[in-house]
Amino acid sequence: MIPRTVIQDRQEFNELLRVFKSLKPRKVLEIGSLYGGTLQQFMEAAEPGAFFVSVDLLTPLGGKPRIDQMQGHDYLFYEWAEEFGHKFRMLERDSGDSQTAETVRHILGEIDFMFIDGDHTTEGLKRDIALYLPMLKAGGVAAFHDIEIESVKNVWTALKIGNKTQEFIIRKAGCGIGVLYKTQA
C-alpha cells in the first residue's frame, strides 16, 4: 500500500491520532477526505472491525477531476478498509444535504469519532455541525480542521462555549485542529 500524504500539519495530526487511538472508535465519520491521507491514518490506527464512512465530493482542479481523489473514491479507500479489517462506505455527496446526513445516520447510528474537514465556509460548517454533531454519542469525539482560518475560527470559538474542548495549534500558520469531547447525551 502506498501511503497518502496527510495535508494537515503533521504534529497537530499526530496529537489528534493520539486522541483517536485512546478512544478506540468503532464508528467513524470523515467529512472531507480529499486524497485520503487522514482517512488512511485513521484506518491504520483503529482496532480491526471499525466502520468508516467518508462523505466527500470530487474537487476539480483547473476544471478537471483529480485522478488521485477519484481513485480513492472508486476503490483505494475500500482496499485500505479491507487491508486493515474494517468496513467502509463512500458517500460522494454534499455533507450539507439533510439526505446525506440521514444516510450516515442509517449506516452508522451513533458515531464514536468524526473528523470534519469539508466545507470551510461559516454556513457550511454550521450546517455540518447541526446535521452530524447530534449523531455523536456521549463519550465521543468530534475533531475540526483549520480552526485558525477565520470562517472556521468563528464557528469553533462559539462551539467551545459550554463544551469540553482541546486545541492542537503548532504554528500560527492558519491551520490547527480543534477537538470537542461530548460529555453528555
In the DSSP assignment, the letter for residue 148 is T
Q: Is 137 helix (H, G, I), strand (E, B) or coil?
A: strand
Domain 10-181 CATH assignment equals 3.40.50.150: yes
Mean of per-residue pLDDT scores for the chain? 91
C-alpha cell at 39: 482517512
More confident residue, 3 or 166: 166
How would you classify residue 6: left for phi > 0, otherwise alpha for psi between -120 and 50, otherwise beta? beta
Give the separation between CA 174 and CA 105, rounded to whole angstroms. Answer: 32
Say yes or no to pLDDT of 3 above 80: no
CA-angle at 127, arms to 156 and 153, nearest 5°: 20
CA atoms within 13 A on the CB side of 53: 24
Q: Distances in Å between the alpha carbon of 21 and those of 74, 75, 93, 141?
A: 27, 25, 28, 11
pLDDT at 173: 62
For residue 14, name the pLDDT band (cuts at 50, 70, 90): very high
State the burial class of residue 160 (Cβ atoms within 10 Å of its Cβ: 0-12, 13-18, 19+): middle
Domain boundaries defined on the chain: 10-181
Give the separation between CA 129 and CA 96, rounded to whole angstroms. Answer: 9
Q: What is the mean pLDDT of residues 26-32?
A: 97
